[in-house]
C-alpha cells in the first residue's frame, strides 16, 4: 500500500512524501520526497 503526505515547510515550499507499507508485516519504508506545486 502506498501512502502520500503533503506539507509546507517554514519557508513556504510545498512538498510530498511517499511511504510504502507492507500489509503482511506492517513494515513502512520511505520511498521519496519531492516538491509539489499547490493546486
Per the structure, the complete domain to which residue 11 belongs is given by: 2-35
33-39: long-range pairs with CB below 8 Å, 24+: 36/6, 38/14
Its pTM stands at 0.74
Instruction: State mean pLDDT over 5-30.
Output: 95
Mean pLDDT value across the chain: 93
Average pLDDT over residues 21-35: 95
pLDDT above 80 for 37: no
Q: Which grid cell sits at 17?
A: 512524501
Domain count, the chain: 1
In 3D, which of 6, 31, 34 has the Cα closest to residue 19? 31
Amino acid at each position: 500500500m502506498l501512502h502520500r503526505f503533503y506539507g509546507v515547510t517554514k519557508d513556504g515550499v510545498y512538498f510530498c512524501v511517499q511511504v510504502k507499507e507492507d500489509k503482511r508485516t506492517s513494515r513502512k519504508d520511505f520511498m521519496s520526497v519531492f516538491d509539489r506545486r499547490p493546486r
